[in-house]
Amino acid sequence: MSGEAGAAGAPGAPEAAGTVGGMPERGRGGIAAADAGPGVPETASGGLRVLPAGPGALLVELDRGEHAEALHAELLRRRARGELPAVREIVPGARTVLLDGIADRTPDGRAAFARALVSWEIPPLRRDAVDAVEIPVVYDGPDLADVAAAWGVTADEVPGIHAGTEFRVAFCGFAPGFGYLTGLPAHLRTPRRATPRTRVPAGALALAGPYTGVYPRTSPGGWQIIGRMPGPQELWNPGREPAALLSPGTRVRFVATEARS
């Protein structure tokens, strides 16, 4: 699989070899030589590292969350085109992507896969690649004033700024149906609450660091709550296929709505 194939769909000029999401790869890593087979360098620091994760898996570590999102999108594109070696699951994390259930479990097979990964040209993430899911939100959360202060705006301005941002599900976790959404610019990153709440209601729309999320069920939590989603059961419905409304790569828009009387 050539690097050119990965850059073909990117807008503008193709990137230099060994780049991730438009950023240079600062030193290519590799899976541990003792586990990977001949010809593969040992793990090294840098922007992209491929590590063993059991006999049939590889873990790709990246230095930034947007790079992990870009790699995840590229893996899905290549699998859809039939250009990816057989792998059962592709699971993104905050700054990692796990490739689990690799069909060729031999050391040489995994080593070849690792070498291919670090040679790819990975285009920057395109947030307009799939249709967006729209989530209605009543912006009346108890932490609106604190978020407004952190952003340097008024509480009345927070809903417009947030709803005017397009988000993308970077990865899922914490609870079934919970997606970690990215999209807010760096200057709007929001600190967690100093004291977590023992009970956050289902449907709460909250912020922490670079992420936005909607709680699919009642649970403790330390994120800043700015609103609520009516009908949070839509986030996780075991009787639906797929059960989760949000999955990695999904585009999300929040739509401000009025509270029902």
Find how far residue 221's CA is from the centre of its chain: 20
Walk me through the domains of the chain, giving residue ranges and CATH numbers.
3-119 (3.30.1360.40), 132-256 (2.40.100.10)
How many Å apart are CA 74 and CA 80, to the nearest integer? 10
In angstroms, what CA-CA distances link 132 with 57, 89, 166, 216? 31, 23, 9, 19
**Residue 199 confidence (pLDDT):** 97
Q: What's the CA angle centered on 185, arms 182 and 186, to 5 degrees?
A: 100
Q: Mean pLDDT in each 10-residue stretch from start to end of the chain (261 residues)?
A: 27 32 34 34 55 89 85 88 89 88 88 88 71 93 97 97 95 92 95 96 97 96 97 90 87 90 58
**Residue 65 confidence (pLDDT):** 80
**Residue 133 confidence (pLDDT):** 92
**Residue 70 confidence (pLDDT):** 86
Contact by Cβ (8 Å): 210, 226? no
Instruction: Answer whether 0.85 is exceeded by the pTM.
Output: no
- Give 92's strand partners: 97
